[in-house]
Structures are given as structure tokens and as C-alpha cells.
Chain A
Amino acid sequence: MCRHACPVFLSTKRDADTPRGHALLISRIDEGLSEWTDDVVDVMYRCSQCHLCKELCEFHWEEDLLIQKIREIIVKIGRVPENVKNLASHIIDHGSVYNVSQIKNLKATNTGNSIDVLYFAGDIILYEYPEIVEKTGVILDSMDINWTMLEKEVSTGIELFELGYTNEAKEAAGNCAARIMEIKPKIIITGNPHIYSAFKKLYPQWGIETLNDIKIYHISEYLNSKVREGKLKLVQNPNLLGIIYHDPCQLGREMGVYDAPRELIKAATGSMPLEFFHNKREAECCGAGSVMHLTHPDVSGKVAQKRVGSALEENARIIVTACPNCKKVFTNAILDMNIDLKVMDIVELVSLHINN
């Protein structure tokens, strides 16, 4: 029944919020015994699509596909909850969940020369954490990387896809890929695992082949490879104690990247990070998957607090993550819990240690 693993269930304790609950409610509708109500539709969006249930299911029940298809049906029959609809409309109209007029890229586009590396930040980093863009730039510049950003980033389509707007997501993806191909970089790096999995996994599935010849890396993979090559030299600071690494669902379970962030932490601090009791493929979600922090901030907040609580159980003092969504909800959770714990993006940690 997988309820023991579902981070949403563990926060709400409601049976409807479990894979079994979803299957039961949907099967009743499918059999014609029940109807799409506002209540049921809302339940189907109270899932962060973290896929932990599938990972731990003895039968590998494909809950991720179920939720994805259900949301597509909800969009198709026009029963999308108002909060989700407003969010999707904003993304479709503005290319972002944020107020894009306030977003400024920090690196000018240089289309005149051939570009090695395109850094795709994604709107949450651009809007919420411009300092991560800045620090990424400092790290890349320290290695004399020929890099740039899009003059104006557009929606990758990933949030629309997660909300069930698959057609609109594919359209946004095509547009995004076209913008990237105006630059024709050799490599794309991003610090947002949702964007990473979209470029690397979803775009090929959606028939978008234009990025096929471009190497795509999460920034932790890219920087770790540079450390291994000896191009990125980090000054170890063993006094940075109590770091615990949180595996973002999209980077870990979805894309299988577990080691690179840990090795980077070791390169920066001299020792491997502390581990959550449930880590790597068993890591619990931060609560921000599937933009649940925007559609259901109350539920998302509780999920984040549980994960922060798990970090405290390991005597952690700093949670390092490799996803801005995780950073956002952990930061809010720590404020709500009024505890002394820091959250850092992996880029922020690396930038503290570069030898320049």
C-alpha cells in the first residue's frame, strides 16, 4: 500500500493522500460508481510526484504514470482546480511562475562567438536566488569557461507537464529548445533538477531532437567532473561541520545522480556529508515537487518540516541540496520551526571554496 513511504501521507495522515487512496478513488470513477468532484480533483494535486512510492513498492506500481494521466484527464475535462488553473495560465502567458518583469539575467548573451557552455538557471533561481547565478558565474569564470545564459529564459514546460498540461508543455518545450539552438552551445548545465530531467529525459521522449547533440549536465555533475580533471581547485575547509546532503527527487530517483553532489561536498570539506536515515533512492521529498509548494503550500510546508526534522535527528547543522525548490521550502520550514539550521545550494558551498 506504500503509505509508509508517501511524504504527503506522512504529513497529513489522510488515506486519500496515498497511492492506494488515489487508485481507489480513480477506480471508482472509472467504474462509473463515482464522479469527479472538486474534492477528488484536489486530492490528485496533493502529490509531489516524488516517485518514492514506486521506488519502494514491492510491485513497482507506476503511481507516477497514474497521477500524470489523471492530471491530463482533469485538464481535458476542464475540472482543474482554480489555484492550479491560475498557475498554469500564468506560466503559459508569461513563461514563468514568477513576475518575469522582475527577473534580470546577470550574464549578457553572446551570440557572435561559439559558446561552450549554456547555463540555464530556471526561473526560481533567477527570481528567488540571483546570488546562485552570480556564484555559478564566479565558479565558471575561475576555470575560464566560455559560458553564457539566454538573454531571456523561457518556460521549459516542465511545470506545465507536472500540472497535467502536456500539450502546452510540449509547445513550451519546443519554443525553449529553439531559443537554446539560437546559441548552439556544446554543453548545457543547470542547477535545477526539474529542468535537467526535462532537457535530458522528457524532451527526447517528446520528439524534440534538437538538443540531442548537446551534452546536458546538472551543475553538480559538471563541477564534480571539473574537480576530477583538476580544473576546479577547491580549498578544503574541514571546519565546516555538520553538513547533511538532501537528494532532490528529480536529481536522485529520477535521473540517478547521487554521487556527484556528495563528492563535491567531500572535495570542499574533506569529508563525506552526513546522511539522512532515508537517503539516495529512499530519500523523502522536500515537499516542493510538482510545484506543490505553489499549489498546496500548507501540505508542502508540512512535508518540508518533516524532512528538516529528519536532518535534526542526524545532528546536522547545514542542509546542502542541489535544487532551488528544496532550498526554498526548507528555508521556510526552518523559519516556521524557529530552529538554528542553515540551507545551502551545492553551488553556494562550492563557491565558498574556490581557489581564486
Chain B
Amino acid sequence: MRKNAVSSLETIKNELKKIFGEENVIENQSEIDCQKVDVWWITRYRMFQGKDLPQPFVIVFPENKEQIIELVKLCNLYKIPIIPRGGGAGDSGGCVPINGGITVDTKKLDKVLKINEKSLTVLVQPGILQIHLEEYLNRRGYTMNHFPASFHTSTLGGFISTNGTGIFSSKYGKLIDMVHQLEVVLPNGKTFKSLPVNHHSTGPDFSKLFIGAEGTLGIITEVLCKIYPLPEKRTFSSFLLPNLRDGIETGRKIMESGLLPSVMRFYDEKDTAHILKDQYEMEGEGCFFMVGFDGLKDDVDVKSRLTSEIIEKTKGKKLGDKQAWSWWENRLKSYYPPLDYICEPWMTAVIDTIAPYEDIENIYWSMKSAVEDGFKKYDAVFHAHFSHWYDWGTSIYPTFVVKDFPKEFKKAIKLYEDIIDACIMVAIKNGGVVNEHHAIGMRLGSYMKECYGEESFELFRTIKKSLDPNNIMNPGKLGLEGIVKNDF
């Protein structure tokens, strides 16, 4: 590094220490090593291949909005990238500092500021881990009803920034349905605060601009979230349906009837075989279907009965409640296994896709064929479940796994890109929409244009350029700069 570059880096660090205090400006390589990876296969694979990963030159921990405003001003002055980070559990490189810069770890912004038990809202800072917010609410008799797989490790701000989805989304929605009001420090250093209600006719609802923006349009500093009283009763039941088509149709009928199950999960044959054998030591053919309700006891009882009747009409066979309850109690066991972090991972990715009912089955078979027939020589495996349902359509949560992939780094990366490309292009061609609620990030950024079309996507670019002319805020994400290659 040139001498003047080093001296300006030192100047910037000194400025950061003035803004955040010494304790909140971290230069330790140990911390940087932990923060430069996420759950994306690429970062973990690169790490265990001994390849360099992009890294921030410093990590800062803001404790208030004013510090973030000062940071944004400083970064505009020196044209330094800012990478906001919550739990770092995204699977698409959303918090990878592709051009270096400063990682802004939000986890010290973790205070619950106010609970409103009359209007059922909670005012909270975005760096709180979801489990801690939920514990705070449970102690007072409430819940946010947001239970994603990374419930223990991710922050509320991270969920908002990816428009995350929890297992109860069929009833309680995604983050976009849970947020009433947002305060955001914009890339130009100004603060935007949306209106304090989540439905209004006061022009466009600009809060929506920041939900799913993955930190490209600013840093969230305060959130007003919707909360619910803890349910009086909760139920879970499990069934076996003859095949995928019957399962989708059953789910559609349940949603069409307005029964609003809190959870409804339906697994393809491959996932079902694995679940029945490994988790429940059962034999059986077909597709595993699970449904649950929560709320007032009488309401839950009636809805459970009506749902069972619908499932029986579509040739569903009731397995009982035990398996579904076991799923609920053990639901977090299959995520973030420790060994994923201490050895080279299998090649894998989730390619969540959403579509109206008339297209969804065809999309499933097309994606499955794209992976398993298209990449037969690598024994690529495709499995999926359907877990977020609406009255107009549903989403497929597909995962591919390749255990035996090329040893050569560039060939492995190319295979990874080819599988994702084949999967997504066939989904889009058949009416699907990319729905990666774990982040679009770098992994899927190039498909934003494919989804929206060139002309429509230009709106996002225009907004970005207007708010962030120096492109300091989380550059390289969401396809705003075209295609970012995975062999960076």
C-alpha cells in the first residue's frame, strides 16, 4: 500500500474512533475472519480452499443513530463502502464486503424501546437477535410470530433487510407484513422516518423501499413492529398425501377456504422418504403434509376439524399429531450444524421460488429436472418443500446438493453457477419469481433484471443513484452493478 494511502487509512480510523469510541472500532483479524464469511456456500468453500476473501479494513459497532449519520458523512467524503451486518446468517453474500470498506455491525443497537399493549406494537432497535425480542415479548404475554430457522442467530434488522419469512408466514406474513414504521439513515446522511401505521393512503408507502433492500439504500435504526397476544391454543397435525399434485391442491383449498393455518408444510417424495425414515422411523409412500393452527381455543378446534375434512377429501391419510409436534419441537436442529463451519461444505444452495397456483407444479418438475437430469454426471440431488402459502399461490423451497464436485476451484465455481442458472432460468420461464428470503445478495443479484425486465429494474437503479451517488452503501448487491462473478 502506498504511503499516502496508509496515512489516509489511519486518518479514517482515527475519525472512526472519535465517532464510535475506541472500544467500538475493531481491527482484530480474528473478528474480521469471523465476519467475512456468511452462510453462503461460496464464502465457506473459498475459506476452506485457502482463497482470499474480501474483508473490511475495520468493523464498527454503532450504539446510536447519530454515530451512523456521522459515519455516512465520513464515508461519502472518502468514498468508502459501508457494509451493514446483522447476524451474518444470509446465504447469498449479502454482507460480503466485495470492495472492502467498513462493516457496520448493528448488534449493539439491541434495545427494546417501548411496548404498546393497546395498539399491539413494539418499538425496537434493529440489532436485537430475534430470540431476545421474542423472549421480551413472551414475558409480557405477547409474540411477534416470526420464527425463522435462524431465529437464534439473526437480527430483526437482517430479517427486514431481506424481507425474511418465518414458519408461521401463511397466517402472519413476511417482515413486510410485520413492520409498521421504519427509521433509516440514508446513504446521503439524512434520516427517513415512515408513517407510524402500516396501512395508509398518504402517497406511496416509502417504508416498503427499505424492506428487502439488503442495506443498499440505508441503515435501519429503529423499527415499530406488530405484536400478537400469545395464543390460547396451538395444534399440529400430520398427514400423508398420495402425490405432489394432490398436496398442492390440498394446500390451495385450505388457503382458498380462508382457514389461515399458522403453519402448513408439504414435502416432496424425496424429502418425505427422508423424514419418515430418519426422523419418525416409519415406512410410507407419498408426500408428508403438516398443518397447524393457533389462537383462541374454539377457533383452533373448528379450523382444525374443517381442515382435516378437506384433507380427507383429497385422499389424505392422517398420521397423527406426534410427528408434527416433533417437527415443531425439533425444528431448529437441521439448521446451522456446527460441522458446516469446520470443514469444506458440500455444494448446496436454496433457490426459493414463488408463483401462482396454476404454474407452481410445473415449476417444481422443471427445476427438479434441470438439476437432476441436467447435472446427472455429478449426482446432483434436488429436494423441496412448500412452506409459505397464500390464497393465490405458494412458494417452493428447493435445495440442491452436490457431494462430489470438481476438485479444481474454478470448475467447482462454474458448476455451482451453472446449476443455479439452470434452476432459476427454468423457473422464470415457467412463470416463477425468485423469492430468496435469505438474501439475494451477490449470489442472485444478476437475476433481478431477469425477474423485473430491463426497463422496470431501471427504477431501482434510479432510486439507488439518487440516494447514493457515491455508491457507498453495500455495493455489489441486488444486481445494481450488473453481474458480480462468484470467483471474485
Flag whether A31 is at the interface (Cβ < 8 A). Answer: yes
Smallest CB separation, B55 vs chain A (Å): 13
Flag whether B34 is at the interface (Cβ < 8 A). Answer: yes
A4-B129 contact given A37-B29, A39-B29, CB 8 Å threshold: yes
Partner of B48, one of A19, A31, A59, A277: A31
A14-B26 contact given A4-B153, A58-B333, CB 8 Å threshold: yes
Tell me the residues in window 26-80 of chain A with beta carbons closer than 8 Å to chain B beta carbons: 26-28, 30-34, 37, 39-40, 42-43, 57-59, 61
> Do A3 and B129 touch across chains, with their CB atoms under 8 A apart?
yes
Mask: chain B, 295-336; 1 = CB below 8 Å from A; 0 = not: 000000000000000000000000000000000001011001
Residues of A within 8 A of B3 (CB): none
Residues of B within 8 A of A39 (CB): 28-30
The number of residues on chain A lying at the interface, defined by a beta carbon within 8 Å of a beta carbon of chain B, is 33
Flag whether A259 is at the interface (Cβ < 8 A). Answer: no
CB-CB nearest in chain A for B105: A13
> Do B28 and A16 touch across chains, with their CB atoms under 8 A apart?
yes
> Do B48 and A13 touch across chains, with their CB atoms under 8 A apart?
no
Mask: chain A, 259-289; 1 = CB below 8 Å from B; 0 = not: 0000000000000000001000000000000
> Do A277 and B29 touch across chains, with their CB atoms under 8 A apart?
no
> Do A4 and B131 touch across chains, with their CB atoms under 8 A apart?
yes
> Do A25 and B34 touch across chains, with their CB atoms under 8 A apart?
yes
> Do B333 and A15 touch across chains, with their CB atoms under 8 A apart?
no
Flag whether A335 is at the interface (Cβ < 8 A). Answer: no
> Do B34 and A24 touch across chains, with their CB atoms under 8 A apart?
yes
> Do A27 and B341 touch across chains, with their CB atoms under 8 A apart?
yes
CB-CB nearest in chain B for A2: B152
Interface size class of B (residues with CB under 8 A): 35 or more
CB-CB nearest in chain A for B110: A13
A39 to B338, CA, bound (A): 23
Partner of B50, one of A16, A21, A33: A33
Flag whether B252 is at the interface (Cβ < 8 A). Answer: no
> Do A27 and B342 touch across chains, with their CB atoms under 8 A apart?
yes
Flag whether A1 is at the interface (Cβ < 8 A). Answer: yes
> Do A24 and B29 touch across chains, with their CB atoms under 8 A apart?
no
CB-CB nearest in chain B for A31: B48
Flag whether B108 is at the interface (Cβ < 8 A). Answer: yes
Point out which of A3, A15, A16, A37 has the most chain B C-beta atoms below 10 A from its C-beta.
Answer: A15
> Do A28 and B47 touch across chains, with their CB atoms under 8 A apart?
yes
Tell me the residues in window 25-56 of chain B with beta carbons closer than 8 Å to chain A beta carbons: 26, 28-31, 33-35, 37, 47-48, 50
Flag whether A152 is at the interface (Cβ < 8 A). Answer: no
Smallest CB separation, A14 vs chain B (Å): 5
A34 to B50, CA, bound (A): 9
A4-B152 contact given A16-B30, A24-B37, CB 8 Å threshold: yes
Tell me the residues in window 135-153 of chain B with beta carbons closer than 8 Å to chain A beta carbons: 135, 139, 152-153
For the complex of A and B, list the 5 residue pairs with the smallest distance between their C-beta atoms, beginning with the closest: A27-B342, A15-B34, A1-B153, A13-B107, A16-B30
Given contact pairs A16-B28, A39-B30, enumerate 5 new A-B contacts (beta carbons under 8 Å): A4-B129, A16-B31, A18-B34, A58-B330, A59-B333
11 residue pairs A–B, Cβ–Cβ below 8 Å: A1-B153, A4-B153, A13-B110, A15-B88, A16-B28, A20-B34, A24-B342, A39-B28, A58-B333, A59-B337, A277-B135
